[in-house]
Structure 1
Amino acid sequence: MSDMTDALRLERQVCFALAVASRNVIGLYRPLLEPMRLTHPQYLVMLALWEHAPLSVKELSKLLRLDPGTLSPLLKRLEVIGYIRRQRDGQDGRVLAVSLTPEGRALRDEAEAIPPMIVKRLGMELEELEELHRSLTRVIAAANGTHH
């Protein structure tokens, strides 16, 4: 087997490992999020809002690294289930502000149980997961051309 063939082996590909890890880890969240009526992408929106609300759609889009077209249906659904409110900014009518409803804020208490449950389900040491997070953050920066 030549070096070229070996370099193309599926199990050697970083993209493959990332894709499978992503699907599998997100799959662990599903049963924890279902009782909260959230999908994983909606959970990420809620995490950003619990930390920073209120936010403009543009700010939320930047934080989540999602384009507004992808974000919009997530926000619509979260508004329908009563967790967020979208309204035009009083100062600038072009800006759509996203804020939490009391129900959306209250959901945060329930969500606090999720990270430790994920760590437990993964069965990995916290230090190992923190190192993985640091590595993935470097990969994201490198892929975006923002590494130093």
Structure 2
Amino acid sequence: MNTPLDPCNALLLDNQMCFALHSTSLMMTKTYKPLLQELGLTYPQYLAMLVLWETDGITVGEISARLLTDPGSVTPLLKRLEAEGLLQRIRTKADERVVELHLTAKGRALHEQAKTIPGCILKATGLPMEQLEEIKQALVTLRKHLRESLDND
């Protein structure tokens, strides 16, 4: 009997953790898409807004750290959110290189509209909340180990 780590099976697509994660991520994003279109947001914009709804007034560096991305890639996204009137980017007086992000009234109002999204996603998964929480915790642990592995290189 072949196991997933047998040389015969090691490179089969369906045995790849990376493909399971990637394809699930694609399906999750597709599930979010129509819900977010009603809010006028893309999925990356929604993630940024989640951080801002949680912590208004954070810096670009802080939001990029929370989103596990670099500031250069999050800046265009933030500029689009600013153009939509959802946030303001304000340079700090103490250090003009530091940009703080502040929600506008429109950005805060969008938070109320977004409150239905988690329930819609829960329903779409067909899984009980307890099982989803276990999966999420397993993924967070996996991410932590992968990050540590990269840091040790």
What code does the residue aligned with 2:139 have? L
Structure 2 match to 1:82: 85
Matched, 1:122 2:125: yes
Structure 2 match to 1:133: 136
TM-score (norm 2): 0.92
Structure 1 match to 2:49: 46
Query: In 1, distance between residues paired with 2:67 and 2:92?
Result: 21
Give structure 1 stretches of 5+ with no counterpart: none
Query: In 2, distance between residues paired with 1:32 and 1:57?
Result: 26
Give structure 2 stretches of 5+ with no counterpart: none
* 1:1-148 to 2 correspondences below 5 Å: 3-145=6-148
Deviations 1:73-129 (Å, cap 9, x if unpaired)? 110110011101001112221111111000001110111100011000111111110
What code does the residue aligned with 1:43 have? Y
What code does the residue aligned with 1:135 have? A
Query: In 2, distance between residues paired with 1:19 and 1:60?
Result: 23
Query: In 1, distance between residues paired with 2:144 and 2:65?
Result: 14
What code does the residue aligned with 1:45 have? A
Query: In 1, distance between residues paired with 2:74 and 2:31?
Result: 22
What code does the residue aligned with 2:125 have? L
After TM superposition, the runs of 4+ consecutive aligned structure 1 residues lying more than 4 A away are none
Count of matched residue pairs: 146
Query: In 2, distance between residues paired with 1:34 and 1:104?
Result: 15
What code does the residue aligned with 1:78 have? L
Deviations 1:13-53 (Å, cap 9, x if unpaired)? 10000000000011100000001110000000000000011
Q: Which protein has the bigger helix share?
A: 1
